[in-house]
Structure 1
Amino acid sequence: MKIYTRTGDKGTTQIYVDKPLRVNKDDMVVTCYGDIDELNSTIGLLVTSVSTEYQSILQDIQRNLFQVGFAISASSTLTKEDVNALEDLIDSFTRKMPPNTAFVLPGGCVAAAQAHVCRAVCRRAERSVISLSKAHEVSDVVQAYLNRLSDFLFTFARYLNVEAGVVEVPV
């Protein structure tokens, strides 16, 4: 199968909702797909800089991000349990570190800095989904998942710094 189709050369692309639909490449749905794809790619980079014990957690999140995209266009297996799983991870990592008492500068060890980049991209994807939801039906679980994912990525960044012995820099 060829990767190029030549059908997008004039600024349109095909998406799948109930049936295939051709839209402009700057359509809100395509923008959301792009933001989610960028988020998934930044998490893929994060996977390369964490120990194997965390890689499967992040790869599960990456798989769920595909479900977020599917939920925007058609059907998805993303559920409230996936949101709850993120909350459980946040609680688990939070118990293993000192309380967060101040805003901190994004950064620290390389993995934590990348987790902060992921968090920022996640927040943008969440904003795109919220904008899309004003014009198209978007499942509530999508917004909840992205919101909780940004919380997880912040917590994970803090945890990676604690684990690496890096002191966070307050604002």
Structure 2
Amino acid sequence: MGIYTKKGDKGKTSLYDGTRVKKYSLRVETYGSVDELNSQLSVAQKFCKDPKNFQLLDLIQNNLFLVAGELANEDAESFYQHSKAIGKSDTKLLENVIDEYTAKLPVLHEFILPGRSVAGAHLHLCRSVCRRAERLIDHLNDEVTIRPDVLKYVNRLSDFLYILARDEDYVDQIEGLVDKVLDNYKKEVN
């Protein structure tokens, strides 16, 4: 089976429930931004140095499939018959990680530039895409009802991505310091 169907050649696409809508509809733009975030997370993940962050991003990517699936459906109830939905426990996990990382990272007293490491830079880009997706979800919520759990999850996700970026920057900074110490030691020994 080919990947093209030609059904979208006239500017319409199908939602999960089969409803045909214009490709520029707010709903398509909204779940498209969630899909973009998921793709960006995949790139960011490949640069993460902390194995825990790598695993967390696997979980987040799977959860974003659920968010996008729910948004790509005019009949959310039919979606829930085939899939689980984002819930309070998913948001709580994000909050727990945010709290844990905030406690272990140095306190900030000023704004920071986005990303001092490659992973941190990519995660800040993800945070920005997440904020756009959140704005679009909020806009879509003005037209149709979006479950509050989805709104809360995506709002918390941008905070989570911020703290993950800071953590990856910190890991990178520590590794850099260790490398400098080892280089100095090697010079002294030789």
Same fold (TM over 0.5): yes
Q: Give the letter for the 2:114 counterpart.
A: P
**Residues in 1 aligned to 2:39 and 2:18: alpha-carbon distance in whole angstroms:** 25
Q: Give the letter for the 1:12 counterpart.
A: K
| Residue aligning to 2:183 | none
| Residue aligning to 2:14 | 14
For residues 77-115 of structure 1, what are the alpha-carbon distances to aligned partners after superposition, in whole Å with 9 as ceiling and x for unaligned? 210110000000111111111112211111201110111
Question: Does the CA-based 8 Å contact 2:53-2:164 persist in structure 1?
Answer: no
Question: Does the CA-based 8 Å contact 2:115-2:166 persist in structure 1?
Answer: no
| Residue aligning to 1:54 | 53
Query: Structure 1 residue 30: deviation in Å?
Result: 0.4
Is the helix fraction higher in 1 or 2?
2
Question: Does the CA-based 8 Å contact 1:12-1:25 persist in structure 2?
Answer: yes
**Residues in 2 aligned to 1:96 and 1:62: alpha-carbon distance in whole angstroms:** 25
| Residue aligning to 2:22 | 24
Partner of residue 158 from structure 2, selected from 137, 150, 155: 150
| Residue aligning to 2:62 | 63
| Residue aligning to 2:117 | 109
Gaps of 5+ in 1: 167-171
- SS of aligned partner of 2:21: strand
Question: Does the CA-based 8 Å contact 2:120-2:165 persist in structure 1?
Answer: yes
| Residue aligning to 1:169 | none
**Residues in 2 aligned to 1:60 and 1:42: alpha-carbon distance in whole angstroms:** 14
From the CA coordinates, give the structure whose radius of gyration is larger.
Answer: 2
| Residue aligning to 1:39 | 37
**Residues in 1 aligned to 2:54 and 2:114: alpha-carbon distance in whole angstroms:** 21
**Residues in 1 aligned to 2:162 and 2:52: alpha-carbon distance in whole angstroms:** 18
- SS of aligned partner of 1:20: coil
**Residues in 2 aligned to 1:158 and 1:56: alpha-carbon distance in whole angstroms:** 17
Question: Does the CA-based 8 Å contact 1:108-1:161 persist in structure 2?
Answer: yes
Query: Structure 1 residue 36: deviation in Å?
Result: 0.3
Query: Structure 1 residue 54: deviation in Å?
Result: 2.0
Tell me which moved more, 69-78 or 24-33. Answer: 69-78
Map 1:66-105; keep pairs closer than 5 Å: 66-72=65-71, 73=73, 74=76, 75=80, 76-105=84-113
TM-score normalised by L of structure 1: 0.91
Question: Does the CA-based 8 Å contact 1:46-1:111 persist in structure 2?
Answer: yes
For residues 47-73 of structure 1, what are the alpha-carbon distances to aligned partners after superposition, in whole Å with 9 as ceiling and x for unaligned? 110133321110100000011112222
Sequence identity (%): 41
| Residue aligning to 2:3 | 3
**Residues in 2 aligned to 1:38 and 1:60: alpha-carbon distance in whole angstroms:** 16
Q: RMSD of aligned C-alpha atoms? A: 1.3
Q: Give the letter for the 2:8 counterpart.
A: G
